[in-house]
């Protein structure tokens, strides 16, 4: 695990200039500010001018960058920025939060909503596709906007505060739909909500008798781990069984701070699972994936899914062929403990559900052999 910042002058309570990844741009930030999630949100890098200040982007590309950022917003917390080697334009964390030229030049490729989420909404912002569970999108705001996000289409309206009426409609839908035993609270990032709003929403779901399980999907442990506070954990633990799904995509994201955030959730009795996305240039080699999965196992976060990257507009440059993904999983399988292995799946375009991607699924001969063995057994 890597600390994001090395403190060499703590007697002054200031962040020092050097980190394990070079000179730190927030050189004189008091320690208490750095670990204040509100300070982190207020000081996000979000304009093209800031981006050009922090990253060496050729001037000839500035216009394309501006257009990309006008189309799909950008925000990077100082914490996440501190993990990036800014001298390396292929840094795996930089690729996830800083637009690349291809995001704009290949903008016509793909679809805004390949999973047809907007189609399967019986009420606004609630997706009910699978019989026993539904997903609620309680905000469009995120701490960091991931360039590979499959909900990029929803970023265009800024970060408006969600309305109580909207929440109420979702709660009422769940209440009158008895087959829903599990509700996923998603976004955007639900941990961008005010604590009392989030608690009110969770509590309203918890009192519905047929809702057995609540899941929260949030990337906060990865991009803003200081948001996992003892107050938040105290609140969440009241509403168990509650599962926490996060998204680490590279081992450089597994810092002491991120580990601490996950540990706090675990200590509160909340299992933490990881859903990575297979991303070209980030985690599409066996070495990178192995390091990520071992790192997750070390911090007691279960690798749950590895998603095939969706054909989303502005995301094409991240997509890896399915055959390559299967080959990658093959390289890992057999050399790593089953505890580390995620399910590699493709959430099929058109909202047709998740298809597992593994050799038996792709090669009929292997599946046939498996069936023959079962008959013999």
Residue with smaller CB distance to ligand SF4, 24 or 154 = 154
Shortest reach from residue 49's CB to ligand SF4, in Å:
22
Residue 329 is encoded by which pair of tokens?
A: 């999983």
The interface region with ligand SF4, picked from 29-37, 187-195, 202-210, 366-374 by CB under 6 A, is 187-195
Nearest to 169 by CA among 124, 128, 139, 209: 124
217 has which bridge partners?
245
Contact between 92 and ligand SF4 by CB under 6 A: the answer reads: no
Between the alpha carbon of residue 299 and those of residues 198, 275, 295, the distances in Å are 26, 15, 7
Mark residue 373 as left, alpha or beta (left: phi above 0; alpha: psi -120 to 50; beta: remaining): alpha
Residue closer to ligand SF4 by CB (options 146, 326) is 146
Instruction: Specify the residue, 29 or 149, whose C-beta has the smaller distance to ligand SF4.
Output: 149
Q: Which range binds ligand SF4 by CB under 6 A, 99-107, 156-164, 186-194, 362-370?
A: 186-194
Q: Do residues 233 and 266 make contact, with C-beta atoms less than 8 angstroms apart? A: no
Our CB check for ligand SF4 shows the closer of 183 and 191 to be: 191
Main-chain dihedrals φ then ψ at residue 264, nearest 5 degrees: -65, -40
Binding mask 219-248 for ligand SF4 (x = CB under 6 A): x-----------------------------
Give the E-state strand segments of 83-227 in sequence order.
Answer: 126-130, 133-137, 182-186, 213-217
By CB under 6 A, residue 146 contacts ligand SF4:
yes
Which of residues 21 and 73 has its CB atom nearest to ligand SF4 in the complex? 73
Q: Among residues 80, 145, 304, 344, which is the contact residue for ligand SF4, using CB under 6 A?
A: 145
Residue 44 touching ligand SF4 (CB under 6 A): no
For residue 142, state whether it binds ligand SF4 (rule: CB under 6 A). yes
φ, ψ of residue 39 in degrees (nearest 5): -60, -40
- Interface with ligand SF4: number of residues (CB under 6 A): 9
Choose one: 43-51, 83-91, 181-189, 201-209; the region binding ligand SF4 (CB under 6 A): 181-189
Q: What is the pattern of x (binds ligand SF4, CB under 6 A) and - over residues 205-224?
A: --------------x-----
Q: Do residues 239 and 229 make contact, with C-beta atoms less than 8 angstroms apart?
A: no
Question: In angstroms, rounded to a whole number, what is the distance separating the alpha carbons of residues 361 and 357?
Answer: 6
354: left (phi over 0), alpha (psi -120 to 50) or beta: beta
Q: List residues binding ligand SF4 (CB under 6 A).
A: 142, 145-146, 149, 151, 187-189, 219
């Amino acid at each position: 695990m890597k600390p994001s910042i090395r403190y060499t002058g703590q007697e002054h309570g200031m962040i020092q200039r050097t980190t394990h990844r070079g000179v730190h741009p927030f050189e004189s930030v008091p320690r208490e500010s750095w670990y204040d999630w509100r300070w982190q949100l207020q000081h996000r890098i979000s304009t093209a001018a800031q981006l050009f200040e922090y990253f060496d982007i050729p001037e000839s590309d500035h216009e394309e960058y501006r257009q990309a950022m006008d189309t799909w917003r950008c925000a990077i917390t100082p914490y996440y920025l501190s993990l990036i080697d800014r001298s390396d334009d292929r840094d795996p964390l930089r690729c996830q939060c800083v637009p690349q030229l291809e995001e704009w030049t290949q903008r016509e490729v793909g679809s805004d909503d390949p999973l047809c989420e907007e189609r399967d909404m019986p009420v606004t912002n609630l997706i009910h596709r699978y019989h026993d569970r539904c997903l609620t999108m309680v905000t469009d705001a995120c701490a960091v906007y991931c360039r590979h996000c499959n909900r990029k289409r929803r970023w265009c309206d800024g970060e408006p505060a969600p309305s109580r009426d909207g929440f109420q409609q979702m709660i009422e839908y769940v209440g009158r739909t008895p087959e829903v035993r599990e509700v996923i609270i998603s976004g955007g990032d639900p941990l961008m909500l005010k604590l009392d709003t989030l608690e009110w929403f969770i509590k309203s779901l918890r009192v519905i008798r047929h809702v057995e399980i609540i899941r929260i999907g949030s990337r906060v442990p990865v991009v803003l781990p200081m948001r996992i506070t003892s107050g938040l954990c105290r609140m969440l633990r009241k509403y168990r069984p509650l599962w926490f799904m996060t998204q680490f995509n590279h081992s450089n994201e597994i810092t002491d701070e991120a580990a601490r955030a996950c540990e706090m959730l675990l200590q509160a009795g909340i299992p933490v699972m990881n859903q990575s996305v297979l991303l070209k240039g980030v985690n599409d080699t066996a070495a990178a994936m192995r390091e990520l999965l071992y790192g997750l196992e070390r911090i007691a976060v279960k690798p749950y899914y590895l998603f095939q990257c969706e054909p989303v507009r502005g995301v094409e440059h991240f997509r890896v062929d399915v055959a390559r993904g299967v080959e990658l999983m093959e390289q890992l399988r057999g050399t790593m403990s089953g505890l580390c292995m995620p399910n590699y799946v493709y959430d099929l375009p058109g909202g047709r559900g998740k298809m597992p991607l593994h050799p038996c699924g792709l090669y009929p001969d292997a599946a046939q052999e498996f069936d023959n063995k079962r008959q013999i057994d």
